[in-house]
């Protein structure tokens, strides 16, 4: 069972209604017809705005931010986020309102409606992070209040006793086996050396015949974040260069998270198309999640833009977008049979939606047939996010890239219709041609509120050299209120080809 957050209405006309969240998402609460949870548009909620506040959810974490409403949002009876009455609602985006962390038992009051927050976190083994069933009956309660699974408990009795430093427990690193002082409040099960040097971790594993990650020679680091790293590696035996992505177990991933991760990778490996970066291999080794992808030596499109002065010609940008749209058309229409869900049922998945199309997720690679554009991270971003590996950060970075998101996706990040990807592809095309985002995002203004309340700037205002007919198609593709015009990647591509 994953961590779960339940918002239960305890007062008001919606009393008894529950909203359950088990995955990473954002949502807007207000009277607007596009909000979820949606409040009644009646006299009891006349003080509530159409888009009143935003919830940023990553179970078991949750935050709330008022959108500068006239009457504020009440958390545990305390008002947060209220704007000055002399400031118009549309001007509220100029103000920065703080986010508030919510805990189990907290309440949110909006008009006459009161939500109570209930947070459930499953028990997990303090050594290997395996999820424990029931009340931990399959493991044992430790003196520090933590639990240990049966497997780790049986292994623990075989270890030589270690003198316990005052104020710390002793644990054994799941990678190198060395013992180290372990803070009972911490979640890491790797020693400091393995956490701080993931490159060395991979090299050690590559040379160790007992682990599954063997067979790859690390060449150099391509990038590193707080939870993992990406390396250029060479597959021994074939010499094929791959992008090796590694996620460390310091996120304390549980059994359900592993299952979700592997299920998502299982889905992604079915994507076999020239314009989608292919998944080659994946696994878990000594507390380390990893997978390998096709290596695109041309790099990501945003870096290509930077090398060419910040924008691309109509010809080059169009070449990239038409090929990327082919990748979208394929993914949106793929059928993946016999997928086992967590409840045990077997279903056929009809289409995969990316949800984070942007220039940094489109790559170039050279082939005998010429230069090809490929969409990267198709579904893997969602997989790591669901597995708790992306971390929990402030709104604006955790749930995607709002500058390339349609308002429908801002209102509900889990919005997964193909048209959201089509809109993002049009926004990416706009960016390639102008070096600017479709909407203006002035410094200091709330980017989420800007997406909700403003329209895109016509592309010819950014670049007058763009042909009029092409500009009209792009502008049409970026309409997202009240709805997105182009519902499919096929229709957008057909419209582009009609004016090129």
Q: Where are the domains of the chain?
A: 4-120, 139-185, 194-294, 309-497
Q: Which of 220-229, 326-335, 470-479 has the lowest mean pLDDT?
A: 220-229
| Strand partners for 199 | none
Tell me the pTM: 0.72
- On the question of pLDDT at 465 being above 90, the answer is yes
Please tell me the predicted confidence (pLDDT) of residue 59.
83
Helix/strand/coil percentages in the chain, nearest 5: 30, 25, 45
- On the question of pLDDT at 299 being above 80, the answer is yes
For residue 322, the SS3 value is helix
Please tell me the predicted confidence (pLDDT) of residue 399.
40
Distance of CA 47 to the CA centre of its chain: 33
Taking only the tens place, the pLDDT of each residue in 348-400 is 878 888 888 999 999 999 888 788 999 987 754 444 444 333 333 333 333 44
What φ, ψ does residue 134 adopt, rounded to 5°?
55, -130
Q: What's the Cα-to-Cα distance from 122 to each of 12, 147, 252, 255, 429, rounded to whole Å?
A: 31, 11, 12, 10, 43
- On the question of pLDDT at 212 being above 70, the answer is no
The average confidence (pLDDT) of the chain is 77
Give residue for tokens 């939870």.
227
Take residue 213 and report the two structure tokens written for it.
């990650």
Given 3.40.50.720, 3.40.50.2300, 3.30.200.20, 3.30.2080.10, which CATH number is that of 194-294? 3.30.200.20
Give the gyration radius of the chain's Cα atoms.
25
Q: 495-499: long-range contacts (C-beta < 8 A, 24 or more apart)?
A: 496/318, 496/321, 496/322, 496/325, 496/470, 497/322, 498/473, 499/467, 499/469, 499/470, 499/472, 499/473
Residues above pLDDT 70, as percent of the chain: 66
Q: What is the band of 69 on the pLDDT scale with cuts at 50, 70, 90? A: confident
Whole-angstrom Cα distance, residue 475 to residue 406?
13
Q: What is the band of 90 on the pLDDT scale with cuts at 50, 70, 90? A: low
Taking only the tens place, the pLDDT of each residue in 170-187 is 666 655 566 666 554 444
Take residue 413 and report the two structure tokens written for it.
């990040």
| Mean pLDDT of the 150-168 span | 55
Q: Which of 178-187, 216-225, 239-248 has the lowest mean pLDDT?
A: 178-187
Q: What's the Cα-to-Cα distance from 404 to each of 195, 215, 289, 321, 355, rounded to whole Å?
A: 33, 38, 29, 15, 10
DSSP letter assigned to residue 358:
-
| Mean pLDDT of the 260-281 span | 79
Please tell me the predicted confidence (pLDDT) of residue 259.
58
Please tell me the predicted confidence (pLDDT) of residue 188.
44
Please tell me the predicted confidence (pLDDT) of residue 397.
37
- Tell me whether residue 245 is annotated as binding: yes
Given 3.30.1490.190, 1.25.40.10, 3.60.20.10, 2.60.200.20, which CATH number is that of 4-120? 2.60.200.20
CATH fold, domain 309-497, is Transferase(Phosphotransferase); domain 1 (1.10.510)
212-216, 232-236, 456-460: range with highest mean pLDDT: 456-460
Element (H, E) at 231: strand 228-235
Whole-angstrom Cα distance, residue 77 to residue 449?
25
Q: Which of 383, 410, 380, 381 is nearest to 395 (CA)?
A: 410
Whole-angstrom Cα distance, residue 34 to residue 16?
21
**108 Cβ contact list (under 8 Å, min separation 6):** 7, 53, 64, 73, 74, 75, 102, 114, 115, 117
Please tell me the predicted confidence (pLDDT) of residue 169.
58
């Amino acid at each position: 069972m994953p961590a779960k957050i339940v918002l239960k209405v305890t007062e008001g006309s919606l009393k008894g209604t529950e909203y359950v969240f088990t995955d990473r998402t954002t949502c807007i609460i207000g009277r607007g017809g596009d909000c979820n949870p949606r409040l009644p548009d009646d006299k009891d909620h006349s003080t509530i705005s159409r888009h009143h506040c935003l919830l940023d959810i990553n179970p078991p974490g949750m935050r709330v931010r008022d959108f500068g409403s006239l009457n504020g949002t009440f958390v545990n009876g305390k008002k947060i986020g209220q704007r000055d009455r002399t400031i118009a609602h549309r001007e509220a985006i100029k103000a920065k309102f703080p986010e508030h962390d919510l805990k189990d038992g907290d309440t949110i009051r909006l008009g006459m409606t009161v939500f109570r927050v209930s947070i459930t976190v499953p028990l997990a083994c303090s050594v290997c992070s395996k999820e424990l069933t029931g009340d931990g009956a399959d493991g044992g309660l430790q003196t520090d209040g933590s639990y240990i699974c049966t497997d780790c408990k049986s292994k623990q009795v075989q270890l030589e006793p270690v003198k316990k430093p005052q104020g710390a427990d002793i644990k054994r690193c799941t990678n190198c086996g060395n013992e180290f002082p372990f803070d009972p409040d911490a979640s890491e099960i790797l020693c400091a050396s393995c956490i701080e040097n993931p490159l060395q971790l991979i090299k050690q594993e590559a040379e160790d015949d007992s682990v599954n990650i063997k067979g790859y020679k690390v060449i150099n680091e391509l990038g590193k974040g707080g939870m993992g790293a990406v390396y250029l590696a060479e597959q021994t035996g074939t010499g094929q260069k791959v992008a090796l992505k590694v996620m460390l177990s310091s996120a304390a991933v549980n059994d359900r998270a592993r299952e979700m991760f592997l299920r998502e990778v299982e889905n992604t490996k079915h994507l076999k198309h020239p314009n989608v970066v292919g998944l080659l291999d994946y696994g878990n080794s000594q507390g380390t999640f990893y997978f390998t992808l096709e290596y695109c030596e041309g790099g990501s499109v945003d870096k290509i833009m930077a090398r060419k002065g910040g924008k691309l010609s109509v010809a080059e940008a169009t070449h990239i977008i038409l090929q990327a749209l082919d990748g979208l058309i394929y993914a949106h229409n793929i059928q993946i049979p016999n997928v086992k869900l967590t409840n045990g049922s077997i279903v056929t998945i009809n289409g995969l939606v990316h949800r984070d199309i942007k220039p940094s997720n489109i790559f170039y690679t050279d082939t005998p047939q010429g230069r090809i554009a490929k969409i990267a991270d198709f579904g893997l971003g969602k997989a790591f996010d669901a597995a708790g590996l992306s971390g929990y950060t402030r709104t604006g970075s955790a749930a995607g890239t709002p500058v390339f998101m349609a308002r429908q996706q801002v209102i509900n990040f889990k919005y997964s219709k193909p048209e959201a990807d089509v809109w993002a592809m049009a926004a990416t095309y706009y960016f390639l041609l102008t070096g600017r985002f479709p909407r203006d995002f002035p410094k200091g203004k709330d980017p989420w509120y800007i997406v909700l309340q403003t329209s895109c700037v016509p592309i010819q205002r950014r670049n007058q050299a763009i042909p009029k007919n092409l500009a009209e198609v792009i502008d049409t593709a970026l309409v997202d209120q009240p709805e997105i015009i182009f519902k499919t990647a096929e229709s957008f591509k057909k419209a582009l080809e009609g004016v090129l």
